[in-house]
Structure 1
């Protein structure tokens, strides 16, 4: 039995046993890659097979979920997602599986089983599609009711944004400071942070700079998620294997003593520095908030 078939068999059994109920999210492509140790193509094929069997379906802002099978009233059609909702959900699933570069209107139309020109009746083009996708994924984890001081509120927003990028690495590529997408669910984070910082004493223009700095840290770290996923998919070599393969080159470059700090760091051993992106994100977030704390003290 192929690896994708084993994945399909297990998820199918979980659905049949009621462990995964209608509307509940099933493991994403990247979760399957991590948990089963398979390539992205294998994980994608498993989810595609489950969709073809009608067991799962894409849902905007959530991911792939167990399909609902509502009973129609006599003489009434069964309720279901609109064509636009299906298009956005399917586009998110495709981008999650293969990256943003692999997403096109033609491919999306094929996944939806419709001519490309029919898709254009519902979505004006890829720019609008990306806007709708961004709004959908940022809506997955809505901000809670405001609580705590400014630092707690900014940390909450940053970690929710990080979670979005973790689930959908392509989203970091879509976000921009020069031409930010007018996506209400993404804009809600900026509004949340502006309110917290202004209440703490920062003038609104300075609060906006601080909110952009926070968003830039999250996005800047998250850009590496998509890059690493694509590199691993293209080469079949994960991050640890890549670093191991660079040892000889590192030794040649540092042999002349030009990089003493690197040599001392290497001498500490492979576990001296944690290069996991989650660790780098949290370290940067803490230092950024420390700096804003000093700024607030000055402004007061």
Structure 2
């Protein structure tokens, strides 16, 4: 029996890379193009690209697409932290003990995989392949995937550090915390889906935000329960919107369709429903709305100020 279609696609792309027909940094065929060229389902083409990413052969570049991974030691091996995280990073890392240097390298490589393919695709085996290490050697530096994910979360949130001094007033503190968390989720979408609110992470990075918020609320009229609820509301507002970034990535990998392409496919069904006469108010609203671009950054901005306005009524007793 011959190899399954997805395996043949994987072998073909590897062969083209080995022959120099696809070079590091160059885009590989998209899911839709592979499905068309090979006469396979979109899910089959997506599985091939996922396997290539797990092996470190390709990486997903935001706003570019899937590209051939750089050779080890190239830019693909560098951390993806923000400017704040990278400034002075070389000097800091050079002073770390060898064990901590190895663990930081492992964590950063794991973040790269999760950024490109999602947390579900991160396995210890895939990580070991990316780093050129034996899988079991990883366990000398991290306790397992659960331990690794917590280290990843802390490293990712530390890429967007809180200012040395908090701004004046509880509202400015909460807004600064929310914006920095949003920036972290925007850079690392997998963070939003790690755990539900009912199972809080023992994260040192998040505890810094909690410390900030509780210090800002210390002089208010709120009791401890109200303070906790207020912090959870702000955190869940940011996390709730950010979760859709990762959900969209998963949907695109599964279907091979962008959100715009998916909406165009569903357009006929939506028109049939709205033109049935059963939902006249919604049909009238859609006619008034016209083309609507769901931009999560704009949605975050749209809701943050009203959220803080509402919390002011609780904190200040307005």
| TM-score of the two chains, using structure 1 as the length reference | 0.77
Higher relative contact order (CA 8 A, sep 6+): 2
Equivalent residue, structure 2, for 1:110: 129
The answer to whether the Cα contact below 8 Å between 2:275 and 2:283 also exists between their aligned partners in 1 is no
The answer to whether the Cα contact below 8 Å between 1:84 and 1:122 also exists between their aligned partners in 2 is yes
Q: 1:207, CA displacement in angstroms?
A: 0.9
Tell me, yes or no, if structure 1 residue 293 matches structure 2 residue 293: no
Unaligned 5+ runs, structure 2: 1-20, 28-58, 92-97
1:193 partner SS: helix
Equivalent residue, structure 2, for 1:223: 243
Equivalent residue, structure 1, for 2:284: 264
Equivalent residue, structure 1, for 2:213: 193
Change in Cα spacing, 1:235 to 1:213, as seen in structure 2 (3 Å) is same
Change in Cα spacing, 1:257 to 1:55, as seen in structure 2 (3 Å) is closer
1:70-219 equivalences in 2 (<5 Å): 82-144=101-163, 145-219=165-239
> 2: CA distance between counterparts of 1:227 and 1:253?
25
Match of 1:33 among 59, 62, 69: 62
Change in Cα spacing, 1:60 to 1:201, as seen in structure 2 (3 Å) is farther
Q: 1:69, CA displacement in angstroms?
A: 9.4
1:179 partner SS: coil
The answer to whether the Cα contact below 8 Å between 1:88 and 1:129 also exists between their aligned partners in 2 is yes
Equivalent residue, structure 2, for 1:235: 255
Q: 1:154, CA displacement in angstroms?
A: 0.8
The answer to whether the Cα contact below 8 Å between 2:217 and 2:227 also exists between their aligned partners in 1 is yes
Change in Cα spacing, 1:2 to 1:200, as seen in structure 2 (3 Å) is farther
Runs of 4+ in 1 over 6 A off after TM superposition: 63-66
> 1: CA distance between counterparts of 2:140 and 2:23?
38
2:245 partner SS: helix
1:48-67 equivalences in 2 (<5 Å): 48-49=69-70, 51-59=71-79, 61-62=81-82
Change in Cα spacing, 1:3 to 1:237, as seen in structure 2 (3 Å) is farther
Q: 1:81, CA displacement in angstroms?
A: 6.8
Q: 1:57, CA displacement in angstroms?
A: 2.7
Q: 1:164, CA displacement in angstroms?
A: 0.6
The answer to whether the Cα contact below 8 Å between 2:156 and 2:188 also exists between their aligned partners in 1 is yes
Report the aligned-residue RMSD.
Answer: 2.9
The answer to whether the Cα contact below 8 Å between 1:58 and 1:93 also exists between their aligned partners in 2 is no
> 2: CA distance between counterparts of 1:98 and 1:291?
37
The answer to whether the Cα contact below 8 Å between 1:60 and 1:86 also exists between their aligned partners in 2 is no
> 2: CA distance between counterparts of 1:196 and 1:111?
43
Unaligned 5+ runs, structure 1: 8-28, 71-78
> 1:209-260 CA distances to partner (integer Å, 9 max, x unpaired)?
1000110111111110001012223333222222222111001112232222
Change in Cα spacing, 1:130 to 1:253, as seen in structure 2 (3 Å) is same
Work out the number of aligned pairs and report it: 259
